[in-house]
Chain A
Amino acid sequence: MAACSVEALLAKAEQEEAEKLKSITVQKDLDLEFDIGNLLASDKTRIESRDFRGQKKEDFLRSLARDNTQLLVNEIWKLPSERVEEAIVTKLPDQTTPLPREKPPPKPRPPTKWEEFAKLKGIQKRKKTNLVWDENRVDKNEYNRLKNIARAQKVKLPGVGLIPTPQQSKEDLVKAVSVARTSTASAGRFQDRLPKEKPPRKTGKKRKFEPLIGNFSNEKQKQLELLKHMGSKKPQLDINRAVNKQMREENREEAAARFKKGGKKGRKSTMSGKGGKGKGGKGKGGPGKGAQGKGGPGKGGQGGKSGGKRRGKLGKH
């Protein structure tokens, strides 16, 4: 009995399959010719005139069209499909129907004067390296560009590093000596001092770090305090530090703006100095203008971006 039911099931399944396929199969005397690349199908079967009388004409045409379209769609669906951004897409094969061109194919251009010269001299074309835009370079480039402008305009810059001057002051000499001492391979650590040379002041290690393993209680204390800060609801704001930071930022921007303005007009720029709170208001207007001013000549986007970046960096803390 189980065998009977299995057979019955199989028969039923086959029947269902046949029915499914029936809806998409089309009976045709001649197979159609397809050019899927052009979404084209050609039916070469002869059309009998008797099918084509009167009212039956439209119906005949419609049924013919339906059959042919069904066959074309069957062919298209046979191709592999893939999903591209929420749509099912089929890649079409190349076109097989030859169609005339619009214009004759392009003729090869005669070599230019340079090309001829290069061929004569045997100069090869060099491929450029894949240089990728590096955002961090922007600031450095900007800085260098401003320095170049200053040099061109023969504007005096605030001292950065050592400037070759005819008459060097005592501080300049001391600075020169210290710079020379540290420009060795080991940054001056094994450099003997001259007989009357004074030990350097305020140079050396910039930051002092705690030893890794030492004071356990100190470390415990620090960690607990850190956790307390992190857990507390109120933000830990050091007002003094914040105010100093703000002032420094404003001064910097003002100096840059001042320097830029001076560089453009060719006048000597004056060191802005530590402007107080009074200058804060003007300074705020300054950076806005300065950032745009920087954007003006040539590098619009990058200049603005670098200014924005600087502002963003300092404002984060």
Chain B
Amino acid sequence: MEQLLSPRVNSARLGNYVAQKQPVRIVGKISNFSQKGDTALMTACDGGEVKIMLNAGHNMVDTFVEVIGTPIDPSTVRYISCTNMGANMDLKLVNDVVELTFDPKFQGRLF
């Protein structure tokens, strides 16, 4: 069942999930794609940069996306899938909610 969980993190917390190789979700803004289209750079909801290693069938089209991916290192994930979230998003608000989910009051109970 653990394999089916995909906690939502930001760039700062990504490092905590590298060892477990468990997929994570990160919301952010795509800043660019590499020439060959095999990687993309995302500014995560907390402002940190995350590299996304893509595969040929990816469908990241919008500026704001939530990427589900496997962490490779504290600032890289390998793309599994994504949700396109349009052209406008309040990333600070998203980050505030994400950080709240890690509050000890809720971790373990709700998340």
Q: Do A and B bind each other?
A: no
Chain A residues engaging chain B, CB cutoff 8 angstroms? none
Chain B residues engaging chain A, CB cutoff 8 angstroms? none
